[in-house]
Each structure stands twice: as structure tokens, then as C-alpha cells.
């Protein structure tokens, strides 16, 4: 999907053009991680744009972190109602070794490894980065990225990636409010946080191969 991207703070969008040869390859599986309190806009906006390339190129799998089919967003939580926002229906769940399997009776033998991992932001990320990770989401992320071609996040999704150790040694950005407070910087100083960048494209080395890591601001700025 992305060609010869070098680490940069704010690249031209032209550098993110799909390769011509990519269209002849097998569809890439994009795993979208859904956790309670994710930000709905963080998911809907980028996936609607990516969906325009067609299922023959990208196929989305919505992965629940809780094992439940319906995962509520943070929309109403921001207003203090405590009811949770609109829900998205997950069709996959986390499996061992960073794989995903069909939700509801899926066996480990049915597990697949996504080519792309997407982590949105939202108030629910605070629970993950604060250590409230009973489902082992961070360790699953750390395993998943080992076989992904691309990892990307919106808003505080990058904070979650950082806590999982995915961004160590890389430039990255996140929600500007939390960066102004210095929270991700204190939490993961191994990351070269860029407070003014709208998005950052970096290249990581995983087992001798290059991986593209894209982090962006929040919410609509990402």
C-alpha cells in the first residue's frame, strides 16, 4: 500500500499512493481493534476512505477485545451520560500469537494473521494504558505487529501502541491535548513524540523486514 516511505513528520499524501502491482495481489486483511470506549469517528472516517479501494484490495475485520459481539463507542461517555455510545458489531476476536479468529466458536485452527493493524483512539484507551488490561490486549498487539506490513493509529491509539512497545525508537504523534499534558511522553519516553505533527510516517524493522508505522492526531485532524 505504501512505497518507500522513510521516517518523516508530515509527508505529502502523494507518498501514500498504492503500488500498481498491489492490485494484482491477494486482498490484505485489515484488523480494526474495537475496545469499549473507542472513538467512533476514529474508525468510521479512515475505514470509509480505505474502503473505496474495494474488497479485492482490502478486507476489514472488526476485532473485539472483550469477546462480546457489540462494542460501544465513547460518544455518549464524553457527555457524562454513562450510557456508552453507538455500538459496532465485531466479527472476529483476538487469538494466540497475534492472530484473529471468527467470533463465536472460532477455533485456533481457523485463525488468520492480519496484514494491517489499525488502533483507534477514544476514552477507552485510558484504561488500556493505565494497566487495566485483563484481556491481554497490549501483549496481543505486540505479537500482532510482528507479522503486519502496516500498523496505523488515530488519536490516542498511538499511546496504546506505545505501551505495547510498538513505537520504541520511532517518531510518532498522538492527540494534541494528551501530548500537551506530557502523558505519553512520561509513559513511554522511548518514543520520539512529535507534538506538532498532524501525522507521522515511520519505518520499523521487524525480523529483517520493513514495516510502515503511521500515527496521526485526533480526532478529525487524524
Closest CA to 99 of 115, 111, 88: 111
Cα–Cα distances (Å) from 54 to 20, 108, 159, in that order, read: 14, 28, 30
CATH numeric code, 13-216: 3.40.50.880
Residue pLDDT, tens place only, 93-118: 999 999 999 998 777 788 999 999 99
Enumerate the domain spans of the chain: 13-216
Residue pLDDT, tens place only, 86-95: 889 999 999 9
With contact defined as beta carbons under 8 Å apart, do 83 and 4 qualify? no
Whole-model pTM: value is 0.85
Mean per-residue pLDDT, 169-182: 96
Amino acid at each position: 500500500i505504501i512505497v518507500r516511505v522513510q521516517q518523516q513528520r508530515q509527508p505529502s499524501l502523494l507518498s501514500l499512493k498504492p503500488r500498481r502491482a498491489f492490485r494484482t495481489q491477494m486482498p490484505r486483511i485489515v484488523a480494526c481493534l474495537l475496545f469499549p470506549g473507542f472513538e467512533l469517528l476514529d474508525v468510521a472516517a479512515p475505514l470509509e476512505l480505505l474502503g473505496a479501494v474495494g474488497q479485492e484490495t482490502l478486507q476489514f475485520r472488526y476485532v473485539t477485545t472483550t469477546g462480546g459481539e457489540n462494542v460501544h463507542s465513547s460518544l455518549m461517555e464524553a457527555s457524562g451520560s454513562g450510557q456508552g455510545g453507538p455500538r459496532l458489531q465485531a466479527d472476529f476476536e483476538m487469538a494466540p500469537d497475534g492472530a484473529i479468529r471468527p467470533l463465536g466458536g472460532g477455533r485456533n485452527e481457523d485463525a488468520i494473521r492480519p496484514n494491517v493493524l489499525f488502533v483507534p483512539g477514544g476514552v477507552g484507551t485510558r484504561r488500556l494504558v493505565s494497566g487495566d488490561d485483563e484481556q491481554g490486549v497490549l501483549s496481543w498487539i505486540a505479537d500482532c505487529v510482528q507479522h503486519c506490513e502496516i500498523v496505523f493509529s488515530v488519536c490516542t491509539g498511538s499511546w496504546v501502541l506505545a505501551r505495547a512497545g510498538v513505537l520504541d525508537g520511532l517518531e510518532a504523534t498522538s492527540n494534541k491535548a494528551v501530548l500537551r499534558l506530557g502523558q505519553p511522553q512520561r509513559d513511554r519516553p522511548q518514543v520520539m513524540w512529535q507534538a506538532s505533527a498532524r501525522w507521522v510516517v515511520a519505518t520499523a524493522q521487524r525480523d529483517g523486514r520493513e514495516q510502515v508505522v503511521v500515527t496521526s492526531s485526533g480526532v478529525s485532524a487524524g
